[in-house]
């Protein structure tokens, strides 16, 4: 729509491919660290760290999600106790 049906130049192909993952990563970081008074280091950060470790170890997506949810839930439970 912006280009009126014209194709992008070849040099922009690499940038366009990386736009969606970089925007998603930025959204995840902002939503994870956003607090009422600035940066919040809480259970969300622990869950995100667990997901990063699972991804680094090349775990399947369900294992990544389960580990992130489990670590975040455990951190919240320990924080509330």
Q: Over pLDDT 70: what percentage of the chain?
A: 95
What confidence category does residue 66 fall into, taking pLDDT thresholds of 50, 70 and 90?
Answer: very high
pLDDT surpasses 60 at 1: no
pTM here is 0.74
By CB atoms closer than 10 A (0-12, 13-18, 19+), residue 3 is exposed
Q: What is the pLDDT of residues 18-55, one digit of tens each?
A: 999 999 999 999 999 998 888 889 999 999 999 999 99
Domain spans of the chain, in order of start: 10-80
């Amino acid at each position: 729509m912006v280009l009126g049906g014209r194709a992008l130049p070849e040099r922009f192909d690499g940038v366009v491919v990386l736009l969606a993952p970089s925007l998603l990563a930025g959204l995840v970081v902002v939503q994870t660290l956003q607090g009422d008074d600035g940066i919040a280091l809480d259970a969300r950060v622990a869950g995100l760290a667990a997901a990063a470790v699972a991804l680094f170890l090349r775990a399947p997506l369900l294992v990544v999600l389960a580990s992130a949810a489990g670590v975040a839930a455990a951190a919240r439970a320990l924080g509330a106790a």
